[in-house]
Structure 1
Amino acid sequence: MYYHGKSIKQDYLQAIQWFKKAANQGHIMAQNNLALIYTRGEGIQQDYQQAFKWLQKAAEQGHAPAQYNLALMYYHGKSIKQDYLQAIQWFEKAANQGGAFAQYNLGVIYANGEGIQQDYYQAMKWFQKACENGIQMACDNYRVLETAQ
């Protein structure tokens, strides 16, 4: 309520306080939301290390959006050393739960051979799944790879 300002005045500091209470009790949505607040610097100073900490907690509990966001941090090297293998691991966990953007990113990683051997078969597999989940760029990339075969 405080975060979105629904029915009450928006108050990021109050939202952060409540998210922290729930996050410290293991609530994965609160952990993920807290991580996003730290990533964006909403109401507080941007802090990628805190974002990483909370994303990791939620991701390890199987929360697909947190797994995807953690993968992005590894992929881009935000506050941590860039690590494509860790990014792939977390993208796969999110992708296997139906995360379309994670599926798309895996297609890109396999198509470009980022941190792993280039594998067009795997790229096509992930692009196809992302396409089936509504990502148009994945459909386009799938077609490009299919015609190149």
Structure 2
Amino acid sequence: MPPEAHDRAADPPEGTAAASGPDSASPHAQPPPANPHAHSRRAGPFTVVALSGEIDMATEGFVSEHLDVATAPPEPDVLVDLRGVTFFDCSGLRLLCRAETRARERGGRLRIVSDLPRIRSLLRAAGLLRRFPPLEELPPPRRPESESPQPPPP
């Protein structure tokens, strides 16, 4: 079974956002409360889910509640910031794959931000580097077309 199929079929850990129905979240839903391993915020058109500390089987519930809400609206544009992560294992990779699949199914995307060589090495070893080419920093928010700079008057 390809990893993506397993990710879609996996039940979220007990005590996560699944209990509150992440699929029923509106596009304007508030992010879940920050916790020791994840917090979410809006940055222009992006939802940034910043992770920190050790991301493993014991902490995946803290992360999944943020990823579930971030990928619930139509056309989500999610940035997962891994720059504060001290440990990241296959549980974290499974969460990323599941969230990226959800975002893509809703017409959006999920990208990761990491300048850590160990994250790049882990993605390469898992065969996920093409799926998640890491950005080294958060991209600047795009300016809506209605706010395009106007040429100065003559």
Instruction: Assess same fold via TM > 0.5.
Output: no
Q: Which has the higher contact order (CA 8 A, sep 6+)?
A: 2
The structure with the larger Rg is: 1
Higher helix residue share = 1
Higher strand residue share = 2
Instruction: Give me the TM-score of the superposition, normalised by structure 2.
Output: 0.30
Instruction: Give me the TM-score of the superposition, normalised by structure 1.
Output: 0.31
